[in-house]
Structure 1
Amino acid sequence: MTGPVIAAASPTAPSEARAALHRLRAEVAKAVVGQDAVVTGLVIALLCRGHVLLEGVPGVAKTLLVRTLATALDLDSKRVQFTPDLMPGDVTGSLIFDPRTAAFTFREGPVFTNLLLADEINRTPPKTQSALLEVMEERQVTVEGGRRPLPEPFIVAATQNPVEYEGTYPLPEAQLDRFLLKLTVPLPERDEELGVLRAHHAGFDPRDLRAAGVRPVAGAADLAAARAEAHAVHVAEPVL
């Protein structure tokens, strides 16, 4: 007698969530030359529901990197240019008096989105920087005692220039604690700089990512599936 025939196990195919993240990285690479380590950090933050602080000198594509990520993700995204005269209400929203109803109504600020680009966050005073404390930790805005939850997912990707540049305000410790990662965006290598020049010579316009071929390749469902897979990873007791 012969025993039952056992079919050889086929190698496990990459999950749809993993494939979506690979597509996301490839799509970002269409506009951003190099910076693979920074892109990896952004993907990690997406999986961990964490916020990211990007630091680097002007001109290393910090803003372009986040804008490209927002374009490649089929999520709602908004951008806030932080300036010295920006007020906290300009970030979180504020109560507006409606003369038709003789009542105050809440006008939502740009934080009510999925991916918030806080551009040059250290160019605004700490009073306005503190407007992000509650939204980054609690993912909500409290107005007149009322709780207004933010959409899910919600991630803040902030950029800042080194503090030795004029007109900047160092982030307070309480604000820094809200970020999962601080990623330093370095100057590109020589070959990468040549790649940037060739891209511009070929007609690349950083203000028009659609023309550069950047398209949404992943969405909220892909992100939720990837987070679920990351959450299911077993951590052995010695590692803990």
Structure 2
Amino acid sequence: MQLDDFQRLIAAVRSEIGKAVQGQGPLIDLLLVSLFARGHCLLEGPPGTAKTLLAKSLSSAVSLGFGRIQFTPDLMPGDVLGVNLFDFRTNAFHLTRGPVFTDILLADEINRAPPKTQSALLQAMNERVVTIDGKDYPLGSDFFVIATQNPIEQQGTYPLPEAQLDRFLFKLVVDFPDRDAEIAILTRHAAQPLDFEARRAGIVPVLDAQALEAGRRLVDAIRLDRTILTYIVDLVRATRSDPDILHGASTRAADALAGAVRARAAVEGRDYGLPDDVQALLVPALRHRIVLGPSAEIEGRAADEVLANILNRIDAPR
């Protein structure tokens, strides 16, 4: 696949998702960057901001398997991964596969399940393999998790541990659309039946597994200049010495950011990365990977603000 073909493919996927989701263009772009960078996405925002609709719209535009897990406090790891059940007719155990065995997995309200259940996804997200009763089951190279959580619903939720958060390439904050976009959304829905599935009516698959793999090979072929890699390392290392940050980002975070920069360069139609790519992706790639110190929390500073200060402090390569 050439860059021109990749650009047309990205435009087609954007267009199809845009049939259902309006006013979230930058969010869609970051979701596509994550998809082609082989990362996973965590969507955080108040209820009613189309987080679930965005995930389902992407699945409708892509010819891949789709599964959904509604995380609840009583959900068990076996409900996610599956279990071996004994069949008395054959006198043997057979695996009943859980919803994790799919290509695109929507983990809805992931912070409503206890840590024991959340941890069931750790191996799957990191290695794209699950182990059940000592046997490994591959999930395939297309395995892609989109998780959602509502930050304003504190009761009955369990904060995601750092190890779980580190498996997500991006944490994307989903905000309310502007006034014009909301009017456009209501205008469109006024001409549709009053059911959720009608929101995605008209979306046709424009990306299949072969095209996805070709696009990922294109991203793999993009190489970053040493100055860009040095810039990424300097920014990540700055999070470890910043007085506002208790725990900084890891080497894994730097490596994930570098991969995302390559994917964004391809999405933007370039075969080379720029400092602009690093600056555009630093906050969504690191906001969930740092732990703020007590002073920053007392003063009401957010992770985005602290990371923006680091960006302003570290000189970009010319």
| Structure 1: gaps of 5 or more residues | 1-12
Tell which deviates more after alignment, 119-128 or 195-204. Answer: 195-204
Task: Report the CA distance between 1:65 and its aligned residue.
Answer: 0.3
Q: What code does the residue aligned with 2:154 have?
A: Y
Provide closer, same or farther for how the CA distance between residues 166 and 191 of structure 1 changes in structure 2, counting only shifts above 3 A. Answer: same
**Is the CA contact 1:140–1:149 (under 8 Å) kept in the aligned structure 2?**
yes
Matches of 1:205 and 1:180, distance apart in 2:
35
Give the aligned partner of residue 71 of structure 1: 60
Give the aligned partner of residue 167 of structure 1: 156
Deviations 1:59-118 (CA, angstroms, capped at 9, x unpaired) = 000000000000110101111111111110010111111111121111111111110000
Matches of 1:28 and 1:78, distance apart in 2:
18
State the SS of the aligned residue for 1:208.
helix
Give the aligned partner of residue 99 of structure 2: 110
Provide closer, same or farther for how the CA distance between residues 41 and 180 of structure 1 changes in structure 2, counting only shifts above 3 A. Answer: same
Q: What code does the residue aligned with 1:186 have?
A: D
Q: What code does the residue aligned with 1:126 have?
A: P
TM alignment of 1:11-50, pairs within 5 A? 15-50=4-39
> Relative contact order (C-alpha < 8 Å, sep 6+): which is higher?
1
Task: Report the CA distance between 1:49 and its aligned residue.
Answer: 0.3
Q: Which has the larger radius of gyration?
A: 1
Give the aligned partner of residue 141 of structure 2: 152
- Higher helix fraction: Structure 1 or Structure 2? 2
Matches of 2:175 and 2:39, distance apart in 1:
22
Q: What code does the residue aligned with 2:85 have?
A: I
Identity %: 52
Matches of 1:180 and 1:206, distance apart in 2:
32
Give the aligned partner of residue 45 of structure 2: 56
Matches of 2:111 and 2:3, distance apart in 1:
40
**Is the CA contact 2:115–2:161 (under 8 Å) kept in the aligned structure 1?**
yes
Matches of 2:193 and 2:28, distance apart in 1:
20
Matches of 2:71 and 2:106, distance apart in 1:
10
- What TM-score results when the alignment is normalised by the length of structure 1? 0.90
**Is the CA contact 1:84–1:124 (under 8 Å) kept in the aligned structure 2?**
yes
Give the aligned partner of residue 140 of structure 1: 129
| Structure 2: gaps of 5 or more residues | 230-318
Provide closer, same or farther for how the CA distance between residues 107 and 64 of structure 1 changes in structure 2, counting only shifts above 3 A. Answer: same
Give the aligned partner of residue 297 of structure 2: none
Q: What code does the residue aligned with 1:219 have?
A: D
State the SS of the aligned residue for 1:128.
helix
**Is the CA contact 1:96–1:106 (under 8 Å) kept in the aligned structure 2?**
yes
TM alignment of 1:83-98, pairs within 5 A? 83-98=72-87
Matches of 2:70 and 2:129, distance apart in 1:
21
Q: What code does the residue aligned with 1:121 have?
A: I
Provide closer, same or farther for how the CA distance between residues 164 and 79 of structure 1 changes in structure 2, counting only shifts above 3 A. Answer: closer
Task: Report the CA distance between 1:37 and its aligned residue.
Answer: 1.3
What is the number of equivalent residue pairs in this alignment? 228
Matches of 1:16 and 1:209, distance apart in 2:
31
Matches of 2:110 and 2:62, distance apart in 1:
23
Task: Report the CA distance between 1:151 and its aligned residue.
Answer: 2.2
Provide closer, same or farther for how the CA distance between residues 163 and 133 of structure 1 changes in structure 2, counting only shifts above 3 A. Answer: farther
- What TM-score results when the alignment is normalised by the length of structure 2? 0.69
Matches of 1:209 and 1:224, distance apart in 2:
30
